[in-house]
Amino acid sequence: MFLKTMNQLNSEIKIQYILYGTSACHLCELAETMIIDASQAHGIGYEYIDIAENEILLEKYGITIPVFKCIESRQELNWPFTKVMLKSFIDRQ
């Protein structure tokens, strides 16, 4: 959620990705840590969306979170993923 705040303050970073998760998900925290590192290295922006606040998203992603999604291509990277897999996913977009 750190980068989401940074993105709101820095309009030069375009939000290109969404991380779907929930606040009670330790895997989402692990994924977000990797995504923060990757976003700083690649100059990308993302938004964290808590699926618990939306019934449609909860139904769609409830058992697969964390999910990292490219807004433009609509491709999704489902957990589990590694830093290498995350970098490869970003590079393909």
Where exactly are the structural domains of the chain? Answer: 2-92
- Identify any residues that bridge with 78 across adjacent strands, giving them in sequence order: 67
- Identify any residues that bridge with 68 across adjacent strands, giving them in sequence order: 19, 77
Helix pair angle (83-92, 26-42), 10° resolution: 50
Locus of tokens 């999910």: 67
What's the pTM? 0.84
For 26-48, the pLDDT digits (tens) are: 999 999 999 999 999 999 999 99
CATH 3.40.30.10 fits 2-92, yes or no: yes
Write phi, then psi, for 15 (nearest 5 degrees). Answer: -75, 115
Which residue from 26, 31, 32 is spatially nearest to 5, judged by alpha carbons? Answer: 32
Confidence of residue 58 (pLDDT cuts 50, 70, 90): very high
Q: Does the pLDDT at position 86 exceed 50?
A: yes
